[in-house]
Amino acid sequence: AQTVTQSQPEMSVQEAETVTLSCTYDTSESNYYLFWYKQPPSRQMILVIRQEAYKQQNATENRFSVNFQKAAKSFSLKISDSQLGDTAMYFCAFMSWNTGNQFYFGTGTSLTVIP
């Protein structure tokens, strides 16, 4: 079974600072995909960034970037120049075609950006 672990239930960061959210996963698959989703107070789940396991280069989307360490099965999210609108729950997710296209989600990290 695939498992996704987010060990930081809550985090906070000062506005304009950088914060890193941790995610580890367990799988025997070699080809898979990883995602970070954001859930603001509105409850809407929004895709932030995705990473294909076969790609060595870390994905980047504007202020959001990942540190993908395949051997360590680690997939952390870095948010640079934090903004108040980044306050949200962040979920890490895993998917592999070999186990069906369902997503396995972590328990989430609640991030608060402090003005």
Partner 1 sequence: DAGVIQSPRHEVTEMGQEVTLRCKPISGHNSLFWYRQTMMRGLELLIYFNNNVPIDDSGMPEDRFSAKMPNASFSTLKIQPSEPRDSAVYFCASAPGTQSSYEQYFGPGTRLTVT
DSSP 10-23: EEEEETTS-EEE--
Lookup: tokens for 29: 């698959």
Find the binder of partner 1 among 91, 92, 94, 109 (CB under 8 A). 91
- CB of 35 vs partner 1, minimal distance in Å: 7
11 binds partner 1 (CB under 8 A): no
Quickly list H helices, the chain: none
Query: Tokens 């280069």 label which residue?
Result: 57
Per-residue binding letters, 43-62, with partner 1 (x by CB under 8 A): xxxxx--x------------
List of residues 6+ apart from 13 with CB closer than 8 A: 19, 79, 82, 111, 112, 113, 114
Find the binder of partner 1 among 21, 23, 35, 94 (CB under 8 A). 35
- Compare residues 35 and 75 and give the one whose CB is closer to partner 1: 35
Binding stretches for partner 1 (CB under 8 A): 33, 35, 37, 42-47, 50, 91, 95, 97, 100-103, 105, 107-108
